[in-house]
Chain A
Amino acid sequence: MKAYLNRLNLTLIIVTYSVIVIVLLPQLSSYIVFIGITCAAWRIGHFIGRVALLSPLLLGLFAVAMSALTVSIIYSQGLFTLLLHLVFLGFSLKFLELRTRRDVYFFINTGFILTALFFIFNTSIGSALIASLLLLLLLATLLSLHVQQLYKKAFIKLLFKSCLISLPLASLLFVVIPRLPSLWKMPLQKQATTGLSDSVSPGGIAKLSRSSALAFRATFKDKVVPENERYWRAMTLDNFDGTTWSQSDQKKQQESLAKRGAGLSFYPTQKGNKVEYELIIEPHYNYWVPVLDYALTPSGLVSLSDYSLRSEQPIVTRKAFSIEQMDSVNTKKLTPVQIRQLTQLPTLNSAVENPQTEQWITDNLRKGHSKEQILRLLLARFSMHFTYTLKPPLLGKSQVDDFLFTTQAGFCVHYASSYLYVARRLGFPARMVTGYLGGEWQASEGFFTVRQYDAHAWVEIWSDGGWQRVDPTSFVAPERVESGLEASLTNSNEFLADELFSLQKWQSVELLNALRVRLAQMDYLWARYVVNFDNGKQLRLLQYWLAKFPWLNITYTVFLLMAAIFSALLLMIFKPWQRKKIALEDKLYLSLQSHFTQQGYPRQMGQSISDYCALLSVQKPSSAALLGNFAQRYNAIKYQPSLSETERKKMLRQLQLLIKQLIKI
Chain B
Amino acid sequence: MINVFFRKYFDKWVTRRLPATKQVTLNSRNLFIFPSKAGIHFLISCFILFLLGTNYQNNLILLMVFFLCSFMVTCLLLSYQNLAKLTLTATDSEAQFAGQDCQFILRLIHAKHHAQDLTFCFQKGQSKLTSIVNDDSVYLYATSKNRGYFNPGRITLRSSFPFGLYNVWTHLDFDYQLLLYPQPLENTLQDLSSSEHNVAHSMGKSRLGVDQFSTLKSYQPGESLKSVAWKQVAQGRGWLTKQFEQFSGGDHVLDISRLNHLALETRLSFLCYHIIELEKKGLRYALILPNQKIEMGLGSVHKKRCLTALALFERVKNQS
Contacts and interface: CB of A to CB of B under 8 A. Distances in A.
B55 A186 contact: yes
Interface in A93-127: 101-102, 105-106, 109, 112-113, 115-117, 119-120, 123
Given A113-B49, A145-B164, A147-B161, A123 B67 contact: no
24 contacts: A105-B38, A113-B45, A115-B64, A116-B49, A120-B52, A123-B60, A135-B64, A139-B163, A142-B163, A146-B161, A146-B162, A162-B71, A162-B75, A165-B78, A166-B74, A167-B70, A169-B70, A169-B73, A170-B69, A173-B70, A174-B63, A180-B54, A181-B54, A186-B52
B257 interface: no
B55 A143 contact: no
Interface of B: 28, 37-38, 41-42, 44-46, 48-49, 51-64, 66-71, 73-75, 77-78, 116-117, 160-165
Given A143-B163, A179-B57, A170 B63 contact: yes
Interface string A142-183: 110111111000000010001101111111011001011111
Interface string A464-496: 000000000000000000000000000000000
Contacts of B69: 170, 173
A162 B161 CA distance: 12
Contacts of A534: 59
A563 interface: no
Interface stretch (A379-387, A395-403, A511-519, A525-533): A525-533
Contacts of B45: 109, 112-113
B74 A162 contact: yes
Interface residues of A, number: 54
Nearest to B38: A105
> Which 8 pairs from chain A and chain B are nearest by CB?
A169-B70, A173-B66, A109-B45, A170-B67, A119-B60, A166-B70, A166-B71, A170-B70
A131 interface: yes
Contacts of A102: 37
- Residue of A149, A174, A185 with highest tally of chain B CB at under 10 A: A174
A146 B64 contact: no
Given A109-B41, A139-B71, A162-B75, A119 B57 contact: no
A167 to B, nearest CB: 7
A149 B49 CA distance: 33
Contact of B117 (A120, A146, A174, A317): A146
B68 A183 contact: no
B37 to A, nearest CB: 8
A165 B77 CA distance: 10
Contacts of B165: 142
A163 B163 contact: no
B61 A119 contact: yes
Given A143-B162, A165-B77, A179-B57, 11 more contacts: A105-B164, A112-B45, A113-B45, A143-B163, A162-B71, A162-B162, A165-B78, A170-B69, A174-B62, A183-B51, A184-B55
Given A530-B60, A532-B59, A533-B59, A170 B66 contact: yes
A183 B54 contact: yes
Given A109-B41, A145-B164, A162-B163, A179 B60 contact: no
Interface of A is mostly: helix
B60 A531 contact: yes
B66 A530 contact: no
A128 interface: yes
Nearest to B42: A109
Interface string A562-576: 000000000001000
Nearest to B54: A180
B118 to A, nearest CB: 10
- Residue of A123, A142, A181, A531 with highest tally of chain B CB at under 10 A: A142
Contact of B66 (A163, A177, A180, A183): A177
Contacts of A112: 45-46, 49, 64, 68
Interface string A205-233: 00000000000000000000000000000
A403 B57 CA distance: 47
- Residue of A163, A170, A183 with highest tally of chain B CB at under 10 A: A170
A169 B72 CA distance: 11
B203 to A, nearest CB: 53
A158 B81 CA distance: 13
A101 B39 CA distance: 13
Contacts of A119: 58, 60-61, 64
A62 B43 CA distance: 30
Contacts of B44: 109
B52 A150 contact: no
Contacts of B61: 116, 119-120
Contacts of A180: 54
Interface string A628-640: 0000000000000
- Residue of A102, A113, A119, A163 with highest tally of chain B CB at under 10 A: A119
A584 B152 CA distance: 43
Contacts of B161: 146-147
B117 A148 contact: yes
A181 B57 CA distance: 7
Interface in A522-573: 530-534, 573
A530 B63 contact: yes
Given A120-B58, A184-B55, A158 B64 contact: no
A534 B54 CA distance: 11
A182 B54 contact: yes
Contacts of B71: 139, 162-163, 166, 170
A182 B55 contact: yes
